[in-house]
Amino acid sequence: MKVAVIGTGYVGSVTGACLAEMGNTVICVDNNADKVAQFSQGKVPLHEKGLDELVERNLDNKNLRFTTDLNDALRNSDIIFIAVGTPPNEDGSADLSHVVTVAQSIGQLMDHPLIVVDKSTVPIGTAEMVSNTIAEELKKRGADIKFDVVSNPEFLAQGTAVKDFMEPSRIVVGADDPKVLETMQELYSPFMRREGRFYAMDPKTAETVKYASNCFLAAKISVNNELANICARVGADFDDVRRAMGADPRIGEPFMYASPGFGGSCFPKDVRALIKIANDNGYEAKMFMQTLETNNEQKHILSDMVITNLGPDLTGKTFAIWGLAFKAGTDDMRESSAVDIVNDLIGKGATIKAHDPEAMGMATQPEYFGNNPSISYFDSKYEALNGVDGLLVVTEWKEFRSVDFDEMKKRMKDAVIFDGRLLYNPKKMKELGFDYKSIGRNV
């Protein structure tokens, strides 16, 4: 099939590359010429496992190309994916200005029937709005060209987005025309090795599925963190609690972890957006409001632990931070707990030695730490430990799981670990001579 993808963020670029991998002819469009040039040279300007290889391979076999020319993409495609950003407004609603601009451009430029697919995470009712916008532009031209607007939310987790697209847990498509649903099912058929993964519904229901899924998962994380905090106070071990709970099929093992809170570009934004949507429709989503409140408090759990154990004045003390990204497998620091933790510690007078496999370049951007002299960065996790008064494990990178504890003790001034991911065994840490503190445990 002939496909265009408008927007080359991680959703758009992954969508385009994966569709090209299955033999479709794909044109990815972006108004950022530098970004298009990088992609066209096979240089992926974002960190997403496996994406580099897909882009390079499909550029070589001519299934994939990148351009700034939207008109060219529309002329040479039959299915158009809208995958532009929908950042949050101050009131929590999604900013649809980029979506509207793209819809207007489609209406102004299209010259043959198209299926337009909303891939961006958008509020309920956006498919209808996009359809009305395109129709209005066609009317201005006096053009009568058939088109359909489809809602097809993405369920891609950063760090595993390529795998998630190639091996989807479900494909949700909302459309009013059965023939359009058949076309979308045909497009996705190479990705559905198992039956029953294609869910056809109306557009508003499909739009709701995305928000419902992310809000449910965010709430599950906050429930786990509440339980972990209770465990720490009553002397229970949340790691054992979550394993036993997860064995119940009604609860399930995935996402049964304690952490310093969720972050990233999806969960916080989508919870706020659904709260706003509920309010606009006369309903107060109290549980999701509590989910955000619990999460905001949880982001300070590790820094509070440091202050409780070492006192409120941390002047002259240095701490190592392992992990800056909001999760492993990405360089994304949007709403990362590490930002709150580092700022809390610096605010109490501490200096920071940080290591992250991917996010250190991102950390120096002005919206995060910029050129803050209280933070230094190290390519080696062990080098970051030299002379520190303690280590805080913030992100669950695999390289932090199996470590040389003797090397750590040799480098650290004080062998104190504040574990935000329950990576280490408390008994073993005590035997090795570490002063070990962990969320979800009274140790």
Report pLDDT digits (tens) over 111-170.
999 999 999 999 999 999 999 999 999 999 999 999 999 999 999 999 999 999 999 999
Regions in the chain scoring below 50 on pLDDT: none
Strand partners, 391: 320, 417
Q: What is the 3-state secondary structure (H, E, C) of the chain?
A: CEEEEECCCHHHHHHHHHHHHCCCEEEEECCCHHHHHHHHCCCCCCCCCCHHHHHHHHHHCCCEEEECCHHHHHHCCCEEEECCCCCECCCCCECCHHHHHHHHHHHHHCCCCEEEEECCCCCCCHHHHHHHHHHHHHHHHCCCCCEEEEECCCCCCCCCHHHHHHCCCCEEEECCCHHHHHHHHHHHHHHCCCCCCEEEECHHHHHHHHHHHHHHHHHHHHHHHHHHHHHHHHCCCHHHHHHHHHCCCCCCCCCCCCCCCCCCCCHHHHHHHHHHHHHHCCCCCHHHHHHHHHHHHHCCHHHHHHHHHHCCCCCCCEEEEECCCCCCCCCCCCCCHHHHHHHHHHHCCCEEEEECCCCHHHHCCCCCCCCCCCEEECCCCCHHHCCCCEEEECCCCHHHCCCCHHHHHHHCCCCEEEECCCCCCHHHHHHCCCEEEECCCCC
- What pLDDT score does 407 carry? 98
- Strands 416-419 vs 435-438: parallel, antiparallel or unpaired: parallel
- What pLDDT score does 442 carry? 77
- What pLDDT score does 443 carry? 60
* Rounded Cα–Cα distance for residues 94 and 39 (Å): 27
Catalytic position from the list 18, 215, 231, 266: 266
> Does residue 266 have an active-site annotation?
yes
- What pLDDT score does 44 carry? 96
Strand arrangement, sheet containing 2-6? 64-67, 25-29, 2-6, 79-82, 114-118, 147-151, 171-174, 198-201
Q: Please give the model's pTM, rounded to 2 decimal places.
A: 0.92
Query: For residues 18 and 26, is the Cβ–Cβ distance under 8 A?
Result: no
- What pLDDT score does 196 carry? 81
| Identity at 231, one-letter amino acid code | C
| Identity at 10, one-letter amino acid code | Y
